[in-house]
Structure 1
Amino acid sequence: MTEKIESPPAHHPNALERLTSLVTGEEPPATPTTGEYHTNYVFARLREDKPPPGRYHMWGMLAALYLVMFLAGWNDGTQGPLLPSLQEYYNINYLVISIIWVFNMLGFLLAGLTNVFLTDRFGFGIVAPFGAMCQVLGYIFMCWGPPYPLFCFAFVCSGYGLGLQDAQVNTMASRLPNANNLLFLMHAVYGLGATASPLVATQFVKHVRSKVYYYYFVSLGLGLATAVTLLVVFQLRTEDQVAGRRVEDHPESVPQAVTETETKSDGEGGAEVAAPAARTVKTGPTSSGSKMKQIMRISATHYMALFILLYVGVEVGIGGWATSFLIAERGGGDSSGYVSAGYFGGLTIGRVVLIPVTNFIGKRLATHVFTLLCIALMVVVWTVKSLIGNAVAYAFVGVFLGPMYPIVMIVILDVMPFELQAGTIGWIASLGQVGSAFMPFVTGAISQKHGVWILQPLMISIMGVWMVCWALVPRTRVQQRA
């Protein structure tokens, strides 16, 4: 059955586009008025055209996106300082406490598998708040110190919610003007959240160690604030109702695009194709399953997905186990939790100050250079038995790790076919969250047998693997298969 095709109206520049045009002197981009557009949205209001957000409304939307990323960072920066106290509370070892990351990973994986389906039917304005409420449900389970099996299950809920939000926010940001810098700044806000949470968590460890799970009441409040903000600010709008409809105005770059043409007889019963008419029909994959199949057929998807899985795993693995490492191997006390704050603070700084460096030497070379610097610093932590020296080295590791995640999100826009970009960003972002759960679990499992000193060589070896993955990512846009 052929799906209903709607023609989009003329695009009206939104507030950010108008501001950008004032700065650059260029006309704001316009969505072509010719062309046709598919929609799978369930509710009629999601298929309606909305006037572009005004200036203050758009800034409110950006603030809501930043709040989501702040909470994501807050969540990822939490476990490190709390881990030793949670082990004491539940009377469990490294391996058993690491199971929380396995359950977290299940939630992220589920988010990655369902994100495209949910987005195609309900749009950003419903899926993102739904994800926030799932995360809130997880914090409700955690905050009263439940039996350990229920505590683990809570991480499925929070992981699923966080995975959906991460996919939604990265995709939305990629649709807005000046997306490159916006992605860097958004992930800097992630680092800000990851910097703040260890500072707060360490205070709970110091003052209410026997009931350290009360910390999750703070996370619960932030989660509720995020859910309400997304509902109020975005008013259930889809991406298209915020950023304008995705209509490809260069059909020749999409093999599945069908262009109407005029014909004339060649006098021998044949027909000669004349110049294409002005109307373009976009006939790319319209079902969620078809989109996912297209995405999975492209090898670049898997190289970037594995890179981001390993990268986020290292990023969160260091933040999650650095405190335990410093306590066990360097004689640190409860205040070692502040080292996680310094590490994530470096992550925040790196995502801001290294933007011009990345732009100057190029995204691909920058990733290799930053990785080599991180490896060198991890060798310092591994070999230099100084608490202060290790803390400083961890902070600089954060600085050089910082830019890599937004770089990958930008490269997706350069490499993937136009209509598969949103689904690819969602899938890769969700897999990154899987890495944030899987790698800390692996670290805990190995540490149980060999000791937590294994953190440094393990992270170094993973960095070496992701450099190979990054080298395999193509430098030009891949062609979409029919």
Structure 2
Amino acid sequence: MATQVDSLSSPTTTEKSAFYDTKLRVDNDETTVAVFTSQNTPATTPGREIEEYQLTELPAARVSSNVVSVVGSDVPTPSLEDLKRARRAEYIGFAALMFCYFLEGWNDGTNGPMLPAIQAHYKIKFAILALVYITNACGFITGAFANIYLSQKLGFGKTLLVGALFQLVAYVLQAPAPPYPLFAMAYLFSGFGLALQNSQAMVFTVSLRNSSTKMGIIQACYGFGAFVSPLVATQFSGMRRWSYHYLISMGGAVFNIIFLTLAFRLQNLDVILVKAGQVVRESGTSKDNLYSQIMGLKVVHLLAFFALAYVGVEFTLAGMSPICSFSAIHTNFDFYLGWIVTFIIDKRHGGPSSGYISSGFFAGMTLGRVGLLWLNKLVGERRVIWLYLSICLGLDVVIWVVPSLIGNGVAVSFIGLFLGPIFPIIMNRTAKLVPHWLISGSVGWITGLGISGSAVLPLVTGAMSDRLGISSLHPLVVSVLCVMAGLWLAIPGGDPHRSE
């Protein structure tokens, strides 16, 4: 339904906030909020037609008295203190999710350096060692689907807390180095918990002002965690009490629980967004369940397979995986690093220090997610993907044909730099192409299918390397990058549901 809103006076401060153009109506049995924001249109535009969105979970008592009024009465200008309070709530919530993503990167970056210690302690073969990746992927995919149900039943804040608790349980199980079946099963808990936190963090981030910039920042926190964690885990992997590394992870998980609880107070997303001065979006009217609605969206599946190819390229080049052990190359160091390190050692005659090339890849990825934000805005997110894919394809061909150890190492870092911004853009496109009430579940499905690429493509690379040699890595990567270009061409370029 639509209504007419009288012109509202702008605050004297230069601060920008959704409070500028907000008016609440309190009925006898429900609270509705009428919101519109326009950073380019003056707030004093008279007769602006807006939408009324249902907010059944927002009692009037929870809204500041100086921004609530009965329809027909004057709406007081929000004070500077109200604006500061809203901005502070936004910053605290975003900071909590930044640490949440850092801890996710820390978790993923831990696996590679710890694999030698895990294998030596349990005296197991590589095929059994690979169970940690299988259980982690199963947990993540299960969490991605469970997120849709839990979001409906528990809401944003409680679902985040459940995810953080599952992550803590995983580290509690791993720290004492229990029997291997239980140790591997712990990855099921961590994958499940990370999937819940991942989806909820994305739906909050895309609801904020300047969401594209904030998406790049929060994804960079993941890359920074993945970069720092191996530096610490490597020190523990050579110790007799190697599993004590998970005590550090446990401490981070405890802090994560406290931070998330204090920042969001187990509240639903609409309540949190109103407190942060953000726009509250509409709810769906379809009678179909959310699973059916999400699976019925073609664009979600296109983005999911694009994410699968992207994650597959990332892990094939520099991801840490025991699948490398299937290679016919018997260098101890390269068992635990990406295939690009195997290629450098075998074809470019690199030494054990070649492993740092993998760190250079992730450092480039972290830098790219923040440092190239200006280019994303200048060129446009849809067009800039073509630029990034073209550069990465060219750099991989350089590694393939130019026999230079240093040159190849630099090229790998630059591939990480230009691959880095792609995943945040995937999330931004999801927010623009998917109805708001389906974003959380859609992100879960996209990331859940994407994480399977971390196992599928390295496995294919290993099989090809056994038959054709490690040089087959680059034709495969070039082919997958071309597939990504084809998928991106099929993804709509419009913005039918929302604008930033």
> What TM-score does the superposition give when structure 2 sets the normalisation length?
0.75
1:238 Cα shift? 1.6
5 Å matches for 1:40-119?
A: 49=62, 54-119=86-151
1:113 Cα shift? 0.9
Percent identity reads 35
Q: Which residue of 2 aligns with 1:303?
A: 302
1:122 and 1:28 mapped to 2: Cα distance? 38
2:53 and 2:244 mapped to 1: Cα distance? 55
1:181 and 1:365 mapped to 2: Cα distance? 17
1:412 and 1:302 mapped to 2: Cα distance? 11
Instruction: Indicate the SS of the match to 1:8.
Output: strand
Query: Residues 361-414 of structure 1, C-alpha deviation per residue, up to 9 Å, x if partnerless?
Result: 222221122122222333344455655444322211110111101111111222
Gaps of 5+ in 1: 40-44, 249-281
Greater length-normalized contact order (CA 8 Å, ≥ 6 residues apart): 1
5 Å matches for 1:172-183?
A: 172-183=204-215
Q: Is the CA contact (8 Å cut-off) linking 1:102 and 1:441 kept in structure 2?
A: no
1:120 and 1:79 mapped to 2: Cα distance? 33
Q: 1:344 aligns with which of 347, 352, 362?
A: 362
1:186 and 1:347 mapped to 2: Cα distance? 13
1:376 and 1:109 mapped to 2: Cα distance? 33
Instruction: Indicate the SS of the match to 1:319.
Output: coil
Q: 2:32 aligns with which of 8, 14, 25?
A: 8
Q: Is the CA contact (8 Å cut-off) linking 1:37 and 1:247 kept in structure 2?
A: no
Q: Which residue of 1 aligns with 2:194?
A: 162
Alignment of 1:141 with 2:165, yes or no, is: no
Query: Residues 84-132 of structure 1, C-alpha deviation per residue, up to 9 Å, x if partnerless?
Result: 4444444445444333221111111111111111111211211112111
1:385 and 1:89 mapped to 2: Cα distance? 39
Q: Which residue of 1 aligns with 2:285?
A: 284
1:167 Cα shift? 0.6
Instruction: Indicate the SS of the match to 1:349.
Output: helix
Output the amino acid matched with 1:320: M
2:98 and 2:158 mapped to 1: Cα distance? 18
Alignment of 1:370 with 2:388, yes or no, is: yes
> What TM-score does the superposition give when structure 1 sets the normalisation length?
0.77
Q: Structure 1's 478 and 55: CA in aligned 2 closer, same or farther, altered over 3 A?
A: closer
Q: Structure 1's 333 and 443: CA in aligned 2 closer, same or farther, altered over 3 A?
A: same
Q: 1:220 aligns with which of 250, 259, 263?
A: 250
1:213 and 1:324 mapped to 2: Cα distance? 23
Q: Which residue of 1 aligns with 2:493?
A: 475
Output the amino acid matched with 1:224: V
1:28 and 1:193 mapped to 2: Cα distance? 45
Q: Structure 1's 446 and 440: CA in aligned 2 closer, same or farther, altered over 3 A?
A: same
Alignment of 1:320 with 2:338, yes or no, is: no
5 Å matches for 1:257-296?
A: 284-285=285-286, 290-296=289-295
Output the amino acid matched with 1:220: M
Q: Structure 1's 295 and 373: CA in aligned 2 closer, same or farther, altered over 3 A?
A: same
1:169 Cα shift? 0.4
1:28 and 1:59 mapped to 2: Cα distance? 27
Deviates more, 1:417-426 or 1:462-471: 417-426
Alignment of 1:429 with 2:447, yes or no, is: yes
Instruction: Indicate the SS of the match to 2:52.
Output: coil
RMSD over aligned Cα atoms: 3.5
Q: Is the CA contact (8 Å cut-off) linking 1:104 and 1:156 kept in structure 2?
A: yes
1:140 and 1:466 mapped to 2: Cα distance? 39
Output the amino acid matched with 2:212: N
Q: Is the CA contact (8 Å cut-off) linking 1:192 and 1:345 kept in structure 2?
A: yes
Q: Which residue of 1 aligns with 2:329?
A: none
2:473 and 2:257 mapped to 1: Cα distance? 35
Q: Is the CA contact (8 Å cut-off) linking 2:164 and 2:256 kept in structure 1?
A: yes
Q: Structure 1's 165 and 28: CA in aligned 2 closer, same or farther, altered over 3 A?
A: farther
Q: Is the CA contact (8 Å cut-off) linking 1:32 and 1:247 kept in structure 2?
A: no
Alignment of 1:230 with 2:231, yes or no, is: no
Output the amino acid matched with 1:79: N
Q: Which residue of 2 aligns with 1:411?
A: 429
Q: Which residue of 1 aligns with 2:15?
A: none
Q: 1:355 aligns with which of 343, 354, 373?
A: 373
Deviates more, 1:318-327 or 1:150-159: 318-327
Query: Residues 187-222 of structure 1, C-alpha deviation per residue, up to 9 Å, x if partnerless?
Result: 1111111111122223334x42x5543322222221
Q: 1:243 aligns with which of 273, 276, 287?
A: 273
Q: Is the CA contact (8 Å cut-off) linking 1:295 and 1:420 kept in structure 2?
A: yes
Alignment of 1:153 with 2:185, yes or no, is: yes
Q: Structure 1's 149 and 296: CA in aligned 2 closer, same or farther, altered over 3 A?
A: same
Query: Residues 206-259 of structure 1, C-alpha deviation per residue, up to 9 Å, x if partnerless?
Result: x42x554332222222122112210122111221111137444xxxxxxxxxxx
Q: Is the CA contact (8 Å cut-off) linking 2:392 and 2:415 kept in structure 1?
A: yes
Instruction: Indicate the SS of the match to 1:34.
Output: strand
Deviates more, 1:317-326 or 1:211-220: 317-326
Instruction: Indicate the SS of the match to 1:357.
Output: helix
Output the amino acid matched with 1:351: R
Instruction: Indicate the SS of the match to 1:214.
Output: helix
2:173 and 2:248 mapped to 1: Cα distance? 13
